[in-house]
Structure 1
């Protein structure tokens, strides 16, 4: 018995010490969890209530239409929020939606609405419209034989690239308007037709909203494919009256090297696009089907800093930045 008692007395201090260590470790972990939760709560309050002093990064990608507006908006926002870094990339509207849906970027940009199929795949997507613009049908500036195009004429051009398996087609021009397409010959001019290579909201506006074209794109035609609004704009500008090229770009990409054609008798101007965005349907408005939104898309509820940036993009303070690239802020027509 004495031997047993001696072992118990010898072991007890060790056991007691181990118990104290375990209690200390568990207590430290518990305190750490509590403090971490408290710090997150405080951090969230700082982000919401004192966003001007917070820091963070925002990645935006998608529509090449929205891209130049986003670049200027990001620059203006970062000037007022020194701790924030915003990176803007292109890729097309389809890329914008899928990238934000997969959590690759914080904001996806699109010059069209989110499709039902996309919502089915990413059900938590939320759309915030920041502005609007219009699609211009353009040829090189020095082309004097063509001043406008009709819906039937434009559709006939893309249809002919299917049957000819070529981007160069014969366009029937009547009173300065492209009214149809036929084999090159008397009464026609040769025109090289362009489309977008990647998934594009600009292309869908023309193909789906305006022409009701099968497949909502021109991917099954022989039209020349070029990446981005900037790519199509450059390709058209490289043509001339002896090398006529025709394509579609956002109005914000129209330069002195392009002629924006009348569409169905309606002028394509900045003022006429704004009239259309306002919902007006008169002689001063552009074709309503070619006016479209500039959208920011997030997956689920945005973080405080992302929401604050979007609020800025929708505010009167964003008007000048969006105007600078030939587009309109949501506050001007909503």
Structure 2
């Protein structure tokens, strides 16, 4: 089915990178056997790497089904799923009330979780001085355009990076710092880069670079150093939380009401699939597969955590 949206320039801009080919899901009874059956997944660039791996294995086990995975950001994933332009949207953040009011039929399927890491270039002066901790207050000052300080030491030459695209990574990071998802947008002194991979490449290629990316991306480069985050623990005391897979996995298993115990809870987030209403047979089969223990290797390979292990 080819879905055309006439006169919707704004939506076209958001979804410009998405394919116009959407699967024909009208006949759910034959969905799992039809040779021409296709499934289109689009949205979060954070979710995309694990979706790629899951799709590859799913197609191997289900001959005749083609799964296409595209990026575009969490915002586009919510919008495209809500409008029914894609079969499954992807978002690496909570779906808030505003989105649900706009798309009341949207259903959220949590497939896993991850966390945001703050990174600096391995040759950054802070690393050379063994300043590998950064506090929430210091990050807030930096990303508000203030003086750059880590552990109280000023680094005037630090170059900050943010996301140039609409993303769950930036929304989560900004909401953690300022309780405002859009707080970082528009600060001219902060360079933008496309996607987690773009920010990672920018920091890796800049000896004075500092930025934030999803933890799974941060662990793929030897050119960056992951900083520990100083924040309040669940008892209200300041604590340096080490960014590690074990700590993040433990934190993801906690309810947000308990406060941070292993890693700042505000920097952890769910990995969600979204459907426009109740998923049809093929959508449900793919989502169920993504949530099954059989998909854990795909999450591990990308540095994320499957819902089956959280």
Answer yes or no: same fold by TM over 0.5: yes
Instruction: Quote the offset at 1:214 in angstroms.
Output: 4.0
Q: 1:131 aligns with which of 100, 104, 112?
A: 112
Which has more radius of gyration?
1
Give the direction of change, closer, same or farther, for the CA distance of 1:95–1:283 in structure 2 (3 Å limit).
Answer: closer
Paired residue secondary structure (2:157) = strand
- Give CA-to-partner distance per residue, 1:255-308, whole Å, 9 cap, x none: 222111000111111111111111187997111111100000011122211110
What pairs up with 1:193-208 in 2 under 5 angstroms? 193-208=160-175
The structure whose residues are more often helix, as a share, is 1
Instruction: Quote the offset at 1:221 in angstroms.
Output: 1.4
Is 1:266–1:283's contact at 8 Å kept on the other side of the alignment? no
Is 2:43–2:72's contact at 8 Å kept on the other side of the alignment? yes
The separation in 2 between residues aligned to 1:313 and 1:133, in whole angstroms, is 15
Give the direction of change, closer, same or farther, for the CA distance of 1:152–1:90 in structure 2 (3 Å limit).
Answer: same
Q: 1:271 aligns with which of 216, 227, 246?
A: 246
The separation in 2 between residues aligned to 1:283 and 1:68, in whole angstroms, is 27
What corresponds to 1:246 in structure 2? 210
Give the direction of change, closer, same or farther, for the CA distance of 1:283–1:200 in structure 2 (3 Å limit).
Answer: closer
Q: Which structure 1 segments of 5+ residues have no match?
A: 1-39, 162-169, 181-186
The separation in 2 between residues aligned to 1:115 and 1:235, in whole angstroms, is 30
What corresponds to 2:60 in structure 1? 79
Confirm or deny that 1:147 pairs with 2:128: no
- Give CA-to-partner distance per residue, 1:199-250, whole Å, 9 cap, x none: 1100111111x1124453411312111111111011010012xxx1111100
Runs of 4+, deviation exceeding 6 Å:
280-284
What pairs up with 1:1-334 in 2 under 5 angstroms? 44-47=28-31, 51=32, 53-55=33-35, 56-143=37-124, 144=127, 145=129, 146-160=131-145, 170-174=147-151, 179=152, 187-208=154-175, 210-214=176-180, 216-222=182-188, 223-240=190-207, 244-254=208-218, 255-264=221-230, 265-279=240-254, 285-333=262-310
Instruction: Quote the offset at 1:46 in angstroms.
Output: 4.7
The separation in 2 between residues aligned to 1:303 and 1:160, in whole angstroms, is 47
The separation in 1 between residues aligned to 2:294 and 2:195, in whole angstroms, is 28
Is 2:75–2:166's contact at 8 Å kept on the other side of the alignment? yes
Paired residue secondary structure (1:137) = strand
Q: Which structure 2 segments of 5+ residues have no match?
A: 1-24, 231-239
The separation in 2 between residues aligned to 1:260 and 1:158, in whole angstroms, is 17
What corresponds to 1:5 in structure 2? none
Structure 1-normalised TM-score?
Answer: 0.75
User: What RMSD, in angstroms, separates the aligned Cα atoms of the two structures?
Assistant: 2.2
Structure 2-normalised TM-score?
Answer: 0.81
Provide the aligned length of Structure 1 versus Structure 2: 267
Is 1:277–1:292's contact at 8 Å kept on the other side of the alignment? yes
What corresponds to 1:167 in structure 2? none
Give the direction of change, closer, same or farther, for the CA distance of 1:89–1:277 in structure 2 (3 Å limit).
Answer: same
Paired residue secondary structure (1:216) = coil
